[in-house]
Structure 1
Amino acid sequence: MRFEECNWMDVDNYLKNDDRVILVIGACEQHAYLSLLTDTRIPLALADAVSTETGIVVAPVINFGISSYFLSYPGTISLRTKTLMNLVEDVIDSLYHHGFKKILILNGHGGNDPVKGRLNEILNKYSDLRVIWYAWWQSHSVEKIAIENDIKPAHANWLEAFPFTRVGELPKTEKTPPHYQGLLSADSTKSVFQDGSFGGPYEVDQSIMNEIFYACYLDILNLLKFE
Structure 2
Amino acid sequence: MLKKTNFLKEMSWTQFIERKKYTDLVIIPSGAFEVYGYHLPLGTDTLVSVKISEILAERVNAIIGPTLEVGDSTALEEFPGTMTIKAENFKQYLWDTVKSLEKWGFKKFLFINSHAGNVPIINQIARDLQSNNEIQCAQIDYWRFIKSHCDGIIESGELAHAHASEAGTSVMMHLYPDLCDLNKWVNEPPKTGDDFPDIIKYTPFSEKTNSGTIGNATLGTKEKGENLVNRSVNRIVQFLVESWGIKDVNEKALEV
Q: Same fold judged by TM-score > 0.5?
A: yes
C-alpha deviation, 1:176, in angstroms? 2.0
Matched, 1:160 2:168: yes
Cα 1:210–1:167, aligned 2, differ >3 Å: closer, same or farther? closer
Whole-angstrom CA distance in 2 between matches of 1:109 and 1:170: 25
- The answer for the alignment partner of 1:107 in structure 2 is 113
Shift of 1:178: 2.3
* Structure-2 change in CA distance of 1:56 and 1:172 (3 Å): closer
**Secondary structure of the equivalent of 2:41?**
coil
Instruction: Choose from 199, 205, 211 the match for 2:215.
Output: 199
Q: Distance in 2 between matches of 1:146 and 1:35?
A: 27
List structure 1 runs of 4+ shifted beyond 6 angstroms: none
Which residue is equivalent to 2:234? 218
Q: In the TM superposition, what whole-angstrom CA distance separates every residue of 1:195-224 from its partner, at most 9, and x where no partner exists? A: 111223344232211100101111222233
Tell me, yes or no, if the aligned pair for 1:170 and 1:202 is still in contact at 8 Å.
no
Is 1:71 matched with 2:77? Answer: yes
Unaligned 5+ residue runs, structure 2?
1-5, 195-200, 246-256
Indicate yes or no: 2:39 matched with 1:26.
Answer: no
3-state DSSP class of the match of 1:208?
Answer: helix
Q: Secondary structure at the match of 2:16?
A: helix
TM-score (norm 2): 0.79
Counterparts of residues 87-106 of structure 1 (less than 5 Å): 87-106=93-112
Task: Give the counterpart of 1:143 among 117, 141, 148.
Answer: 148
Deviations 1:57-93 (A, max 9, x none): 1112110111111111111111111111111111110
Separation in 2, partners of 1:202, 1:66: 28
| Structure 1, unaligned runs of 5 or more | none
Q: How does 1:34-73 map to 2 (within 5 A)?
A: 34-73=40-79
Indicate the residue corresponding to 1:14 in structure 2.
19
The Cα RMSD (Å) is 2.0
Residue 173 (structure 1) shift: 5.0
**Amino acid in the other structure paired with 1:88:** L
Q: Aligned-pair distance for 1:150?
A: 3.1
